[in-house]
Amino acid sequence: MTLGEGGTPLVRAENLPAKIGRPDIELYFKLEGLNPTGSFKDRGMTLAMSKAKEEGAEAVICASTGNTSASAAAFATKAGLPCYVILPSGKVAAGKLAQAIFYGAKVVQIDGNFDQALDLVRALAAEGNITIVNSINPYRLEGQKTAALEVIEKLGNAPDYLFIPVGNAGNISAYWRGFKLGKSIGTAKKTPRMFGFEAEGSAAIVRGVVIENPETIATAIRIGNPASWKEAEAARDESQGKIGCVTDEEILSAYKLVARTEGIFCEPSSAASLAGLIKYSREIEKGAKVVAVLTGNGLKDPNTPIEVCKDELDLKPVEPSVKTLKAVMGLCK
Ligand code: AN7
């Protein structure tokens, strides 16, 4: 089954490297927001859903910070399976909630966070013939690793560095599987150093402890007990990489910078990859090829940009005349 997922653009950053004081690096963005439901989740969801159908599941279920639920809802509809979605109330971006409902999933919001929602999903699935389509489903990461193979295909080799946001730590693990596969089958001559970034208020891997009450403006990665914790640490260690964290301020600043230097609108959580790159840019050698993954589309969350730019936005309408517009636009002599 397919909704047209994968094959997303890898776009060279022409302006941003100089803006962050590193005109000497070759930087590319992998635009995963151009997948059919607007995030990288579609790569793994198509496979997880096909296998659920094949294995005779009666329904699928997921916990989600938003994007998994949007993707699951769309692919479940395509597969003809009922879909149940458990969300942390008040912490899911408007566009994602709209998608999950509109694709026809049964959406339940809990008075709790993502980690509690995932625990509940595990308990519910244990009681019946209902398949979990979170990244603990083994097919999810197998599907997601295709993104790394596409990067290799476009560059003709693996990059020197991969920067990526970390929430449940599934995607960094999937990319690492893909890069190792690329090297073993000979399409790449090397593997990149993997640099993953959690939000500071939910940096479980960085701190080495489960965070009971994770907080961050980047709600997609507001996760305190990452499901793929161990595999992500292995990816970091095997690749001589790093898992670090970035503050909400650093995330929002990167979020705005990529829009205003490159014309790319990603969601706040996606900008954790760029925020990490900026933070560690001095560690990158001259001439290095660097890929930053922008995991989700900016349109998912229409509220944060308006909040971030509220000083620039005057919502009061003006009189519709050329004279007034020239005055407001600063075009008067
Ligand atoms: C835009 O949808 O966990 O480290 O439930 O939506 O593989 O979890 C989303 C995660 C990064 C983190 N960027 O990836 C969910 C969910 C965006 C995301 C991540 C998510 P993982």
Domain boundaries of the chain, sorted by first residue:
10-38+141-308, 41-139
Q: What are the helix (H) ranges across 65-130?
A: 67-79, 94-102, 114-125
- For residues 252 and 217, the answer to whether their CB atoms sit within 8 Å is yes
Mutate to test the pocket of ligand 1, among 8, 32, 41 (most ligand atoms within 8 A of CB): 41
Alpha carbon of 166 to ligand 1 centroid (Å): 7
Neighbours of 184 (CB within 10 A): 10
Instruction: Name which residue sits closest to atom 20 of ligand 1, judged by CA.
Output: 220
Number of neighbouring beta carbons within 10 Å of residue 185: 10
How far does residue 169's CA lie from ligand 1's centre (Å)? 8
Which of ligand 1's atoms lies nearest the C-alpha of 68? 2
pTM value is: 0.97
* Contact between residue 295 and residue 270 where contact means Cβ atoms under 8 Å apart: yes
Q: Name the residue at shortest CA distance from atom 14 of ligand 1.
A: 167
Predicted pLDDT at 316: 86
Reduce the DSSP state of residue 199 to 3 states and report it: strand
- 332 CA distance to ligand 1 centroid (A)? 48
Q: Hey, what are 163's tokens?
A: 């920067």
Closest residue (by CA) to atom 18 of ligand 1? 220
pLDDT in tens, the chain (333 residues): 999 999 999 999 999 999 999 999 999 999 999 999 999 999 999 999 999 999 999 999 999 999 999 999 999 999 999 999 999 999 999 999 999 999 999 999 999 999 999 999 999 999 988 999 999 999 999 999 999 999 999 999 999 999 999 999 999 999 999 999 999 999 999 999 999 999 999 999 999 999 999 999 999 999 999 999 999 999 999 999 999 999 999 999 999 999 999 999 999 999 999 999 999 999 999 999 999 999 999 999 999 999 999 888 877 899 999 999 999 888 876
Query: Ligand 1 centre from 116 Cα, in Å?
Result: 16
* CATH 3.30.1130.10 fits domain 41-139: no
Using a 6 Å CB cutoff, which residues line ligand 1?
Answer: 39, 64-68, 135, 165-171, 220-221, 267, 269-270, 295-296
Would you report the helix, strand and coil content of the chain in percent, each value rounded to 5?
45, 15, 35
**Residue nearest to ligand 1 atom 5, measured at CA:** 64
CA nearest ligand 1 atom 10, residue: 220
Cα–Cα distance measured from residue 60 to residue 268, given in angstroms and rounded to the nearest whole number? 28
> Hey, do 10-38+141-308 and 41-139 end up sharing a CATH topology, with the first three levels equal?
yes
Question: Ligand 1 centre from 317 Cα, in Å?
Answer: 38
Cα 197 to middle of ligand 1, angstroms: 12
SS3 162: strand
For residue 181, give Cα distances in angstroms to 44, 154, 245. Answer: 17, 16, 27
CA of 25 to the centre of ligand 1 (A): 27
Coil, strand or helix: which one is 253?
helix
**C-alpha 191 to ligand 1 mean position (Å):** 23
Q: Helix 67-79 vs helix 94-102: angle between axes, to the nearest 10 degrees?
A: 10
Looking at ligand 1, which residue's alpha carbon is closest to its atom 12? Answer: 167
pLDDT at 333: 64
For a mutational test of ligand 1's pocket, the pick from 133, 295, 297, i.e. the residue with the most ligand atoms closer than 8 A to its C-beta, is: 295
Picking from 196, 194, 189, the residue whose alpha carbon sits closest to that of residue 158 is 189
Length of the chain: 333
Structure tokens at 95: 């566009």
Q: From the CA of 328, how far away is ligand 1's center (Å)?
A: 41
Pick 10-38+141-308's CATH classification: 3.40.50.2300, 3.30.360.10, 3.40.50.1100, 2.102.10.10.
3.40.50.1100
